[in-house]
C-alpha cells in the first residue's frame, strides 16, 4: 500500500516535493495539504489535485488519514510542527534548516525517537547524482584524504522577509548555506570545530531592507576536527542565476562537483558575441534529481522500516555551524563549535517538548 503523505507548507519547496510525489514516486501518495494561507492552500491543492486541505496541522491530524508529513514551512515553525506530527506517530520529512536553535533540534529528535517514527532532513544534495558520485569516489580513496573543501551556493531572488531576519531564519548562512554546512561535513568526513565568518551587505539599500544585521554576501572559513579546512560562501540575491559548486583538494588529487553551465549546450549565432550557454536559473532546476531521489528514499525507508540516511544529527550539525558562523560575524572573532554545543548541553534537564 502506498505511503500516505500530508504536505505542510504549500509554497516553493512544498510544491517541489508535491511534484515528486505526484509524478515520480509511485509508492508515495500526496493525500492532504496544510497551509496557513488559504489562497496558497487552494492554488497548490488545485495544481496537484489534492482533495483534503487544512489551514492548520491540528485540523489535519484530527482527520489523521496519513502516515507521514513533509514540513516545508518557514524555519521558525519547524519545531512545533515536527514535534506535533511525531507525537501523532507520523513519520517526518523536514526541510532544512532543521530549526532555529540546537534546543529546538533536540526537541525534534527526542519527539521522533519517543514516537518511533523516522526523521529525514531535506538535504537533497546527498541524493544528487554528481554529489553521490563524488562522495563514493572519495570513499574509494581516489583523491586521498580531503584536505580542503570549498563550497559555494549563490541563490537568485530576494528572500522573503522571514528568511532574511536572523530572528526567524538565522539569515543567509542558514537559508542558503545549510546545504554547504551539511555537504562539507559529509564530504570531509569530520565535524566542524572552529569557524570564522565575514559578511557584507551590497544590495540591501537598493531593496530598502532595514532588517537588523541583514547581509547578502558571506564567506566562512571552517576548521574541521580532523584538521581539514573548508570555505563556505553564500550570495543571495544573486542576479546571474543559481550556482552551487564544490571543489575538494585531497592528498592525492582534486575533485570538482557541479558546473556553472545549466546545460551541456552552447549556441553561437553572432561572431562578436561568441558562444552562449544557459546557466541554472533556479534550485529546483539544478537539483531536480536530488529532490526526486530524496523523496524516493523517504518513502522507501517507511516501506521497508529502514532508517533514513540523513537524519536529525545531520540537521543539528548544520544548525550548529550556522549558529557558530552567526556568532562569529556578530562578535567579529573565530568561534569554536564547542561554545555553541556546550551552551545547548547545559540546558536544564527536562527542558523541551
Ligand X SMILES: NC(=O)c1ccc[n+]([C@@H]2O[C@H](COP(=O)([O-])OP(=O)(O)OC[C@H]3O[C@@H](n4cnc5c(N)ncnc54)[C@H](O)[C@@H]3O)[C@@H](O)[C@H]2O)c1
> Which of 67, 95, 128, 180 is close enough to bind ligand X by CB under 6 A?
95
For residue 122, state whether it binds ligand X (rule: CB under 6 A).
yes
> Which of 72, 120, 170, 177 is close enough to bind ligand X by CB under 6 A?
72
Instruction: Please report how close the Cβ of residue 74 comes to ligand X at its closest, in angstroms.
Output: 5
Q: Considering beta carbons, is residue 53 or 96 the nearer one to ligand X?
A: 96
Instruction: Please report how close the Cβ of residue 159 comes to ligand X at its closest, in angstroms.
Output: 8
Q: Considering beta carbons, is residue 75 or 328 the nearer one to ligand X?
A: 75
Instruction: Please report how close the Cβ of residue 156 comes to ligand X at its closest, in angstroms.
Output: 12
For residue 171, state whether it binds ligand X (rule: CB under 6 A).
no
Q: Considering beta carbons, is residue 90 or 96 the nearer one to ligand X?
A: 96
> Which of 40, 147, 249, 279 is close enough to bind ligand X by CB under 6 A?
40
> Which of 3, 5, 6, 9 is close enough to bind ligand X by CB under 6 A?
9
For residue 13, state whether it binds ligand X (rule: CB under 6 A).
yes
> Which of 6, 124, 187, 248 is close enough to bind ligand X by CB under 6 A?
124
Which residues are CB-contacts of 146 (< 8 A; sequence separation ≥ 6)? Answer: 138, 187, 188, 189, 228, 248, 249, 250
For residue 10, state whether it binds ligand X (rule: CB under 6 A).
yes
Q: Considering beta carbons, is residue 15 or 91 the nearer one to ligand X?
A: 15
For residue 160, state whether it binds ligand X (rule: CB under 6 A).
yes
Residues that bind ligand X (CB under 6 A): 8-14, 34-37, 40, 72-75, 77, 95-96, 122, 124, 160, 175, 283
Amino acid at each position: 500500500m502506498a505511503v500516505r503523505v500530508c504536505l505542510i507548507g504549500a509554497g516553493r519547496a512544498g510544491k517541489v516535493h508535491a511534484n515528486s510525489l505526484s509524478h515520480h514516486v509511485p509508492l508515495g501518495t500526496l493525500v492532504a495539504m496544510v497551509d496557513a494561507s488559504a489562497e496558497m492552500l487552494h492554488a497548490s491543492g488545485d495544481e496537484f489535485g489534492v482533495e483534503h486541505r487544512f489551514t492548520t496541522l491540528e485540523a489535519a491530524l484530527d482527520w489523521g488519514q496519513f502516515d507521514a508529513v513533509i514540513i516545508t514551512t518557514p524555519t521558525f515553525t519547524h519545531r512545533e510542527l515536527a514535534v506535533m506530527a511525531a507525537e501523532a506517530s507520523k513519520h517526518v520529512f523536514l526541510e532544512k534548516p532543521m530549526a532555529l536553535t540546537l534546543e529546538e533540534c533536540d526537541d525534534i529528535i527526542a519527539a521522533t525517537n519517543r514516537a518511533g517514527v523516522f526523521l529525514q532532513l531535506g538535504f537533497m544534495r546527498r541524493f544528487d547524482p554528481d554529489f553521490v558520485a563524488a562522495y563514493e569516489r572519495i570513499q574509494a580513496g581516489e583523491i586521498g584524504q580531503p584536505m580542503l573543501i570549498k563550497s559555494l551556493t549563490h541563490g537568485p531572488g530576494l528572500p522573503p522577509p522571514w528568511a532574511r531576519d536572523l530572528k526567524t531564519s538565522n539569515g543567509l548562512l542558514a537559508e542558503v548555506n545549510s546545504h554547504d554546512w551539511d555537504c562539507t561535513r559529509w564530504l570531509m568526513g569530520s565535524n566542524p570545530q572552529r569557524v570564522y565568518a565575514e559578511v557584507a551587505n551590497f544590495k540591501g539599500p537598493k531593496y530598502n531592507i532595514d532588517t537588523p544585521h541583514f547581509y547578502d554576501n558571506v564567506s566562512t572559513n571552517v576548521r574541521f576536527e580532523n584538521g581539514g579546512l573548508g570555505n563556505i560562501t553564500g550570495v543571495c540575491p544573486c542576479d546571474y542565476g543559481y550556482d552551487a559548486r564544490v571543489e575538494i583538494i585531497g592528498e592525492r588529487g582534486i575533485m570538482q562537483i557541479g558546473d556553472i553551465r545549466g546545460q551541456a549546450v552552447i549556441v553561437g549565432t553572432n561572431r562578436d558575441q561568441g558562444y552562449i550557454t544557459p546557466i541554472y536559473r533556479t534550485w529546483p532546476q539544478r537539483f531536480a534529481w536530488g529532490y526526486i531521489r530524496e523523496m524516493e528514499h523517504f518513502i522507501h525507508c517507511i516501506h521497508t522500516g529502514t532508517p533514513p540516511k540523513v537524519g536529525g544529527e545531520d540537521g543539528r550539525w548544520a544548525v550548529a555551524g550556522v549558529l557558530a558562523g552567526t556568532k562569529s560575524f556578530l562578535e567579529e572573532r573565530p568561534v569554536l563549535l564547542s561554545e555553541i554545543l556546550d551552551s545547548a548541553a547545559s540546558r536544564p534537564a527536562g527542558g523541551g517538548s
